Structure 1
Amino acid sequence: MVKIRGIIFDLDDTLYCEHDYVRSGFCAVAQALAEANGQDATSIYDAFVQEWQENGRGKVFDTVCERLHLFAEVADLVRIYRMHEPISLSLYEDADRLLSYLQKHSIARGLITDGDKRVQWRKIKALRLEERIPCIIVSDDLGRECWKPSRVPYEKALTCLGLAPAECAYVGDNPHKDFCTARALGMHTIRVVRPVGDHMSTRLTPEMEAERIVYSLEEIMEDIV
C-alpha cells in the first residue's frame, strides 16, 4: 500500500469492543428491572448475557422477562438500553496506540459511524474521541438514508479532512457496508479482524472486502510517513 496522509475509522468493533457497550446496556436495564420488580439485578444481568450468547440480542429482553416473570414494557427497556450512559468503555490498546502515533505524526484522523445518533455520541464521549479525532461523522445526524454504504458520510469526511480519496484509508470491521463505497471512491481500505466481534467470521465477495486485512491496528503504522 502507498503511504497515506489520513485515516478514517469505523467505531464499533474497530476502535473499541462493542460487546462492552452491550454489557453496559444490559447492566442498566437489569438495574431498572430489579428496582421495579424487587429482584436481584445480578441475576437478571446474568440471564441477559446467557440469552445473548445462546441466541443473539434480538429477543433478549422479551425472553428473559418472560422466563423470570418480570413486569415491564419491552419498549421501555430498549429505551433504557439506548439512553444509558456507558461508563466502562475503553479503546482497544492498539487503537489507543495508533491514534497517539497518528497525532504525533500529524496524520489526519476521521471517524464515520452508523447507528442511533444519541447512542453513538454517548459512545464517542465515553471514549473521549472528540479529543483525539478532529473529524467525526455520525451518519444518523445526516439522516437514516446517509448510513453506510451511502457515499455522503465518506465524502463529508474527506471534505472535512481536506484530502483526496487516494490520500486516505478507511479502516473498519464490517464488509457488509464499510468498504465497498470507500473503494468506489478511490480510498484505500483496511479491515481489522479481532478475536471478538459480530462480523469477525464474515467473508464476502472481493468487491465487498477490504484490500488488506490486519489483526492489529498497529500494523498500519508501517504505512505512515
Structure 2
Amino acid sequence: MSSMDCPDTAKTCDVLSPSDSRKVCQCSTDVLCNADEGTSDRVCSIPDAVCIPRCTADEACGEGQRCDTASGHCKVRGDTGAACTGEGQSNCDYGTHFCNSNVCTPLWEPGCPNYTNFPNKDMLGTTGPILYAARRVSVSTDTVLCGTATPKLVKVAFSAYSSVPFPMTKGDLNGFFRVLVAGTVREGTQDVRGADYTVTGDNRERAELIVSLCTEATATTLSTAYYFTGGNFLCFQANF
C-alpha cells in the first residue's frame, strides 16, 4: 500500500504500530474525514488517526474516557475523580482542576477577605496560568530585607501550571499579582527573588514562585493571595 491507495479522507499511509508493519490509511484532520460526505458526522481519532463517528455521549467512549461533545472526540477524563499522574494539570481539566495524589481535584475556591474585597474579579478566568497549591516555606527574622517595623520574614511557595511555557527567568514573567486583605492589588513579581523562581516540565508548563513577605515581630498569622491575569485566585493563610 502507498499514499496513492489512500482515499481523500485519509491522506497518510503508515504502519499500524512499531511492531506491526502492515499499513493503514490515516487521517490528519476532521475535515478530511468528512470531505466525501458533505457532513460533519465523522472525526479523526486522536490516538489512532483513523476516521470514526463523532461521539455524542460518554457511553460511546471507552473506559476512563468521556465525550467532548463540542469536538465529537473521546478524551481522557479530567473531571473530578478522574485518575491522573504527576502534579500540576496532568490530564485534568485545565483551569478548574489539578492532579492531587493521582486524582483530578477541583481547584481551591477563594474565600478569604482578600478575594471578597478584590474589585477586579473580571481579570480572573480559566485560561491563564493557574495557581493550584501553596505552602509555607519558612519564617525568620530579617531586618535587612524587612526593616525594623516589620522584621518577620515569611516565605510562601505558590505552584502554578500553564498551557504555554513559563519564561525561564522571573524578569520575563508578566501578569502575576498580589492582593492584600483590603483588596489592594500589587505587582507580584516584586515579592519573588530571582533564585526563588523555578520552572519545571518538558514544556516548562509548571512553575514555583516563592514570595517573601514581611510582617510585625509579634504576628502569628499572615493572609495573602495571588493571581495571574486570566487565571484563578488563590488565597493562603500562613500560621506560625
Give the TM-score category using the shorter length.
Answer: under 0.3
Larger gyration radius, structure 1 or structure 2: 2
The higher-RCO structure (CA 8 Å, 6+ apart) is 1
- Give 1 or 2: higher strand fraction: 2
Q: Normalised by the size of structure 2, how large is the TM-score?
A: 0.23
